[in-house]
Amino acid sequence: METYQDILVDRPQDDILLITLNRPDARNALRNNSLLEITETLCAAAADATIRVVVITGSQKVFAAGADIKEMAQLDAIGALIDNRPEYWKAISAFHKPLLAAVNGYALGAGCELAMHVDIVIAGEGAKFGQPEINLGTIPGAGGTQRLIKTVGKPLAMKLVLSGEMIDARTALAAGLVAEVTADEHTLERTLALAGTIAGKSPLAIRLAKEAMLKSFEVGLEAGLNLERKSFSLMAASADRKEGIEAFLEKRKPKFSGR
């Protein structure tokens, strides 16, 4: 397995890849290199049929404290414009396999935005989410003003982005920012268990379901329903759908091939 500077990469089970953000001295701040390493890892995972789900996590105390403020401070306007960061974020959101996050501690700024890029967030009860960029005299730069409002609605998104205040895991759960809250010591274990459940499904069905759901953020209902219908129809041509239905009728566990 490749060695990285800012992340650790493991295979806790054959079909799951685990990325651990690992810059403890900078509270896992996401410098450009961190995003590059995440992107490269996801790109390799996309091409590896044995990997069905990817989980991202941080430490017990911090998921990620945001962009690397020291690195960002060096950027002038043109530097920010030609920066590679938006390409890395695009690559993360284009990852077609399920991406889960196990979040303990702080998920702030770009850390909160990273959580919003994944498909399912499981948070420890001590997790804190926020967009504190306003405290630095700036605004979110990786989708915080767009994804947060679509995820939690206007009142809470405005409160977070305009005040820089944080919310706790239970509030994030109630607002729909996270899917589940667990005891801090079980966050990763629970996320890996959920990843295992998803990894056992048809990767083809998972891919089309993810694609159709994410499309709903971008297109109107009619276009979204159209995509769903076409993907649903396409699944009728797959070995996985045949296997899933046969297994049900034969009262056995399905074995999905991804074809």
**Site residues (vs ligand CO8, CB under 6 A):** 26-27, 29, 62, 65-70, 72-73, 106, 108-110, 132-133, 136, 138, 141
d(CA 223, CA 79): 38
Residue closer to ligand CO8, measured from CB, 107 or 204: 107
Q: Coil, strand, or helix at residue 180?
A: strand
The least distance separating ligand CO8 from the CB of residue 45, rounded to whole angstroms, comes to: 25
Residue closer to ligand CO8, measured from CB, 61 or 207: 61
Residue closer to ligand CO8, measured from CB, 109 or 203: 109
Residue with tokens 């789900």: 53
The pair of structure tokens assigned to 146 is: 């767009």
The least distance separating ligand CO8 from the CB of residue 131, rounded to whole angstroms, comes to: 8
The least distance separating ligand CO8 from the CB of residue 112, rounded to whole angstroms, comes to: 8
What kind and span of H or E run contains 68? none
The least distance separating ligand CO8 from the CB of residue 105, rounded to whole angstroms, comes to: 8
The least distance separating ligand CO8 from the CB of residue 230, rounded to whole angstroms, comes to: 38
The pair of structure tokens assigned to 250 is: 């034969």
In 3D space, the residue among 155, 62, 74 whose CA is nearest the CA of residue 110 turns out to be 62
Q: Coil, strand, or helix at residue 162?
A: helix
The least distance separating ligand CO8 from the CB of residue 77, rounded to whole angstroms, comes to: 12
Residue closer to ligand CO8, measured from CB, 56 or 108: 108
d(CA 33, CA 5): 8
Residue closer to ligand CO8, measured from CB, 80 or 245: 80
Residue closer to ligand CO8, measured from CB, 27 or 147: 27
d(CA 223, CA 228): 9
d(CA 117, CA 103): 13
d(CA 152, CA 132): 17
- What is the distance, to the nearest Å, from the Cα of residue 165 to the centroid of all Cα atoms in its chain? 22
